[in-house]
Structure 1
């Protein structure tokens, strides 16, 4: 299992703590250090919808001008933006057997999906 995220993100910390408490082993992929591919972003967009993968609640998105935000209206535009602005990817994203299964953190969803 792979957890994609940023180590100093509070939501990622909650998810990692949950995994540790439930003794679930994982590999961590740090977006900041390792980056992310367009292929991976497109896979996640196909699974969750690009609107979900793009974190519009975060500071990275909010720093954009209204014009810049308005220009991101398609999956292609979102993927191009996220490759260069990995902090705007909703996180964490968890993959099991190379398939994305969870995005974000919700105690109940984790329990149902992983326990």
Structure 2
């Protein structure tokens, strides 16, 4: 299990605490220093049941600066992967990569379904 996080992100801190409270082992990866590659994003998208655009940090400064809200609907997948791989600040965090599943962002109910088998 690998978690991509941003150390200054309060949501990421909550996600790390969640994992620690369950005594789960995981590898931490700073999303800014070691951002996802295009190949990783393509692989992870295959584990994801959400649209490709769900990888974007829509509340981020960079997302707004690039006016991606209006541009994304007209972009090809390859272009989107390249953009996401270019800057970790564009990627929604935390990203939790499991063997057969990907969790984007920290939503307790969603994480509980995975780790506590709650519906």
Q: What TM-score results when the alignment is normalised by the length of structure 2?
A: 0.81
Aligned to 2:43, what secondary structure does the other structure show? helix
How far did 1:10 drift?
Answer: 1.7
For residues 6 and 83 of structure 1, do their structure 2 counterparts lie closer, same or farther at Cα, with a shift above 3 Å needed? same
Please report the RMSD computed on the Cα atoms of aligned residues, expressed in angstroms.
2.1
How far did 1:92 drift?
Answer: 1.0
Runs of 4+ in structure 1 off by over 3 angstroms are: none
Q: Does 1:29 align with 2:29?
A: yes
Per the alignment, residue 87 of structure 1 pairs with: 89
CA distance in 1, matches of 2:62, 2:13: 19
Per the alignment, residue 105 of structure 1 pairs with: 106
- TM-superposition CA deviations, 1:46-81 (whole Å, max 9, x none): 323211012222222012247x95166222111111
Gaps of at least 5 residues in structure 2 are: none
CA distance in 2, matches of 1:39, 1:24: 26
CA distance in 2, matches of 1:107, 1:53: 18
Q: What TM-score results when the alignment is normalised by the length of structure 1?
A: 0.83
How far did 1:3 drift?
Answer: 0.5
Gaps of at least 5 residues in structure 1 are: none
